[in-house]
Structure 1
Amino acid sequence: MIRCSPGHVCNRVHLGLIEVRQLQYAVLTADSLSFARAAARLNMKQSTLSRKVKDLEIRLGIKLFERTTRGAEVTENGKVFIEQARRIVTDVENLLTTARNVSYGLQGRLAVGYCSSLMSGNLRLAFSDYLGRFPEVQFDGIEGSPEKIIHGLQSQTMDVGVAPIGLSEEGLHSKPLWSERLFVALLEDSELALKDKIYWQDLRREVFVVSSNGIGPILGNLLSARLTEQGFRPAVIYQDTSQESVLSMIAAKRFISVASEASQGVPWQDLRFREIYDGNGPARLDYALYWREDNDNPALKRFFKLIEERYPG
């Protein structure tokens, strides 16, 4: 029997003989394609994580991962289980968030949609600054594609969105924010990595993998715009997975990818991030703030004030 201290929500929910925490370990390992990377994000030893996942496999009676020297690949049987586990983990996290919010949000709620990585960069700093200044505002970050952000703003489930410049929808206002440099992500021993500078034209014969979520479609469209020439279109493969998992796929030596500088908040073994150049210098992706003109949320006004202080003009 599991006991939790009074006033606290227990996240060691049992599913028969399985704990939700074990499901979290399995899902994170699948997303990271590596016990080492998953363990680093969990701040635990790789051997400990591997043992806990192995215990889960024994309880289930199926093998979830093929363990190799380069990482961990989900088995065919494991794929079905991981997707079910992901839904359960998400549901439990939502329940915990609801419980915590009972005493949270005393000064209102702010829902921010975004499609940039939070590993590092301007967006992460802006979010951290807001959370530090206004601890009693319920702050909900919602990651999604630009289309999801537009829908969220129009349906008023989001107060404000941060996305690349270029979104246009009746009733929405926008304000330019910052720009991020663009990088090609590749193996450190590849021929491209040996070049002094990498230009868009150097990438024409490469095969790219990008996420179909978040900023991935924007990057895919950018590749098509930059690399399409008469009789040739770039090879861009979309994967319904996270940006972190996309970067992990590069180790298979079949793909490269494109990432913004915000995606480099953690070290990636065997990967190099090289700036992409065009005729005007380093290639960049410009971001803007989007909101409904009729939104009078006081928490949003505080967010505008913070943004104005950090990024005037």
Structure 2
Amino acid sequence: MRSSPDPVSLRLRAWRQCQHLEVYDVETVLAVAETGSFRKAGHLLGVGQSTVTRRIRKVEDALGVSVFERSPAGARLTAAGWKFTLESRQLANRFLETVRAARTAGIGGKGQLHLGLTASLSRGELREVVARFQMRHCEVRLSFTETDLGELMTLLSHRFIDLVAAAGEPTSENGDMLLLTRVPLYIAIAADHPLTQQRNVEWSDVAMMPFMVSAAAPGPTIHDYIIRRVSDFAHKVRITVHRVRREGLMNLEGLGLGISLVCEQWCGVRYPNVVFIPLKKNCKAETIPFSLTWRPKNDNPALRRFLSLAREVAKADATSSGPS
């Protein structure tokens, strides 16, 4: 009986098959996907249609699957093609962001501070820290990166950013951390919904309603959080995942297509026909921790000054909130 290849062998085989692909091969796949035509893709890239055909065949040979369905009407992505183009476009975007971060890293020093975010700066304690820092240290150039937490932690590990601000309890595994505040949660809902007549809502009020989340971060985290909370009421959770970002999701809510869970930082921005209602659990405000993370060996003086201000704000917030 023949034994199946181990995962390492499969990865090595896949690597050998794809290692001859060039950047312009993937670029050609993306161009055909965008235009729906080999001829139009060639015109977009400034090459002949035969070159486009040859590059696509090269990619398909390396992957072992068809990327496009050809027809007189044009080229349509196969299921495998959809997956390949989606991952390739995301990888290309991340690569360009990394290149930009690397180019600016050398400019750093005392006059620059790179911050990574997973939440809006429209309101909340983090906005207060940034505003105070900007007022006191106007000579420091601030730059921001907003993406999912995993990518931010990678950038932090390689010193492309100095600080990550994200939801979560302080832990020591990712570096030094500071609990900045506990962020209140809200339900985002269409302004003409009957629930907007209430000053706040409990989970029992919304457990049966259709929720919406984004496929992009922090959508998956919010998805799991909603499931944990609604499961307490023995209801089947209705959650639709949309491939849109924050603004797109808010626009869908304004159309009455569902509700979503947001933290306080989102509430400082106005969206058409959308209101935010405070969420409570057992008559107490529902909150989540919000922390700052940095590497202890980072000797950027601007980071130290920023953290000093953050501790002031965190202390004032803890005093005003009282014991949790």
TM interval, short-chain normalised: 0.5 to 0.7
Partner of 2:314: 311
SS at match of 1:255: coil
1:304, 1:156 → 2: CA distance? Answer: 17
Counterpart residue identity of residue 269, structure 1: P
Q: Which moved more, 1:210-219 or 1:169-178?
A: 210-219
Partner of 2:149: 146
| Structure-1-length-normalised TM-score | 0.61
The reply to whether residue 211 of structure 1 matches residue 217 of structure 2 is no
The reply to whether residue 118 of structure 1 matches residue 121 of structure 2 is yes
Question: Deviation string for 1:201-233 (max 9, x for gaps)?
Answer: 222221212233344333222211111258754
Q: Number of residues paired by the alignment?
A: 225
1:274, 1:172 → 2: CA distance? Answer: 35
Q: Deviation at 1:300?
A: 1.0
* Greater Cα radius of gyration, structure 1 or 2: 2
SS at match of 2:126: helix
The reply to whether residue 176 of structure 1 matches residue 179 of structure 2 is yes
Q: Deviation at 1:270?
A: 2.3
Counterpart residue identity of residue 294, structure 1: K
Paired-residue identity, % = 23
1:243, 1:254 → 2: CA distance? Answer: 15
Counterpart residue identity of residue 301, structure 2: P
Partner of 1:68: none
SS at match of 2:227: helix
Q: Verify the 8 A CA contact 2:116 2:152 in the aligned structure 1.
A: yes
Counterpart residue identity of residue 272, structure 1: V
Q: Aligned ranges for residues 60-79 of structure 1 at < 5 Å? A: none
The reply to whether residue 249 of structure 1 matches residue 252 of structure 2 is yes
2:267, 2:233 → 1: CA distance? Answer: 34
Counterpart residue identity of residue 268, structure 1: Y
Q: Deviation at 1:310?
A: 2.3
Q: Verify the 8 A CA contact 2:180 2:292 in the aligned structure 1.
A: yes
- Cα 1:106/1:158, change in 2 over 3 Å: closer
1:220, 1:275 → 2: CA distance? Answer: 18
- The gaps in structure 1 that reach 5 residues or longer are 1-83
SS at match of 2:223: helix
SS at match of 2:150: helix
Q: Deviation at 1:98?
A: 11
1:247, 1:98 → 2: CA distance? Answer: 33
The reply to whether residue 273 of structure 1 matches residue 284 of structure 2 is no
Question: Deviation string for 1:284-304 (max 9, x for gaps)?
Answer: 122011112222221211111
1:200, 1:275 → 2: CA distance? Answer: 11
Counterpart residue identity of residue 121, structure 2: L
2:285, 2:173 → 1: CA distance? Answer: 33
1:250, 1:303 → 2: CA distance? Answer: 36
Q: Verify the 8 A CA contact 1:208 1:257 in the aligned structure 2.
A: yes
Which of residues 116, 125, 130 is equivalent to 1:127? 130
| Structure-2-length-normalised TM-score | 0.59
Q: Verify the 8 A CA contact 1:171 1:293 in the aligned structure 2.
A: no
Q: Deviation at 1:149?
A: 2.3
Which of residues 289, 292, 298 is equivalent to 2:292? 289
Q: Deviation at 1:274?
A: 1.0
Which of residues 239, 252, 262 is equivalent to 2:242? 239
Q: Deviation at 1:249?
A: 0.8
Q: Deviation at 1:136?
A: 2.5
Q: Verify the 8 A CA contact 1:116 1:214 in the aligned structure 2.
A: no
Counterpart residue identity of residue 199, structure 1: E
- Cα 1:197/1:311, change in 2 over 3 Å: closer
Partner of 1:162: 165
Q: Verify the 8 A CA contact 2:182 2:289 in the aligned structure 1.
A: yes
- The gaps in structure 2 that reach 5 residues or longer are 1-88, 319-324
Partner of 1:44: none
Q: Verify the 8 A CA contact 1:210 1:243 in the aligned structure 2.
A: no
- Cα 1:282/1:108, change in 2 over 3 Å: same
Question: Deviation string for 1:90-139 (max 9, x for gaps)?
Answer: x8xx99x999x8xx867332111111112222222222222222222231
**More helix, by proportion:** 2
1:264, 1:162 → 2: CA distance? Answer: 17
- Cα 1:200/1:220, change in 2 over 3 Å: same
Counterpart residue identity of residue 293, structure 1: P
Counterpart residue identity of residue 198, structure 1: V
- Cα 1:288/1:186, change in 2 over 3 Å: same
